[in-house]
Amino acid sequence: MRMLAIDTSGEACSVALFEGDRVIDARHETIGRGHAERVVPMISQLHGQGKCDEILVSLGPGSFTGVRIGLAAARALGIAWNARVSGYPTLSLIAAMAQSKMAGPVDACMNGGHGEWFIQSFDAGGLPASEVMSRTPEEAVIALTAANVAGNRASEFARIAAHEVRPMEIVADAGFAHAIPRCLRTKVLSPIYGRSPDAKAPAK
């Protein structure tokens, strides 16, 4: 049983091929933009061109465009390979990466939009202990209280937090997707935006 994991939710474009829980091939590039041009070529460079029985893709939150690119690629490959497609929350991957190196509860903190951060707390087993929130940095350091903070805003969080924090500055890496608790995987392939839309329908 082979699984392909895809994460294009942030500044990294990341794909990994698993056999069971073992990574047999992976690609990870921090590119900022250009995920649409890179993700399929990166998959094609994997062992066996990445062909698999199951595809696991990030649903966000993160870059609006990046999340949709990953979903489109996963859906297309799922049809081409007759593979099952499931999604996972990006912040659960950040938590899984952090907890592979440090034990205990962890708060995930990554770049959001309009100067805000996406934040969420996870217990020692990697399960959500709060909802996904979009908060200003000042609000985030009040809302999050764990000693361990991980994500691409972890260092800045530690700098302004009133309590002592052990930061782990990381970006999402599909090579850790197998560590996400299976109960967090979903067949509902809808983006997780993490904040209300900027555009609102006009009042009648």
The domains of the chain are located at 2-89+172-184, 91-169
Judge whether residue 196 has pLDDT over 90: no
Judge whether residue 149 has pLDDT over 60: yes
Q: 98: which 2 tokens?
A: 């952090």
pTM: 0.92
Question: What pLDDT does residue 113 have?
Answer: 86
What are 72-116's pLDDT values in tens digits?
999 999 999 999 999 999 999 999 999 999 999 999 999 998 899
Residue 202 binned pLDDT confidence (cut-offs 50, 70, 90): low
Question: What pLDDT does residue 95 have?
Answer: 98
At the topology level, CATH places domain 2-89+172-184 in Nucleotidyltransferase; domain 5 (3.30.420)
DSSP string, the chain: -EEEEEE-SSSEEEEEEEETTEEEEEEEEE-SS-HHHHHHHHHHTSGGGG--SEEEEE--SS-HHHHHHHHHHHHHHHHHHT-EEEEE-HHHHHHHHHHTTS-S-EEEEEE-STT-EEEEEE-TTS-BSS--EEE-HHHHHHH---SEEEETTHHHHHHH-SS--EEEE----GGGGGGS-GGG-BS------SS--SS-PPP-
Judge whether residue 201 has pLDDT over 80: no
Give the mean pLDDT of 40-44.
97
Q: Are 90 and 10 in contact (CB under 8 A)?
A: yes
Give the mean pLDDT of 179-185.
97
Judge whether residue 118 has pLDDT over 70: yes
- In whole angstroms, give the CA distance from residue 138 to residue 74: 36
Judge whether residue 195 has pLDDT over 90: no
Q: What is the mean pLDDT of the chain?
A: 94
Q: Which residue has the higher pLDDT, 118 or 33?
A: 118
Question: What pLDDT does residue 193 have?
Answer: 86
CATH superfamily of 91-169: ATPase, nucleotide binding domain (3.30.420.40)
Question: What pLDDT does residue 59 have?
Answer: 98
Q: 152: which 2 tokens?
A: 């691409």
Percentage of residues in the chain having pLDDT higher than 90: 91
Give the mean pLDDT of 167-189.
97
With the C-alpha atoms ordered 99, 149, 63, 32, is the resulting torsion angle positive or negative? negative
Judge whether residue 64 has pLDDT over 70: yes
Do the domains at 2-89+172-184 and 91-169 have one common CATH topology? yes
Beta bridge partners of 7: 14
Question: What pLDDT does residue 204 have?
Answer: 53
Question: What pLDDT does residue 194 have?
Answer: 72
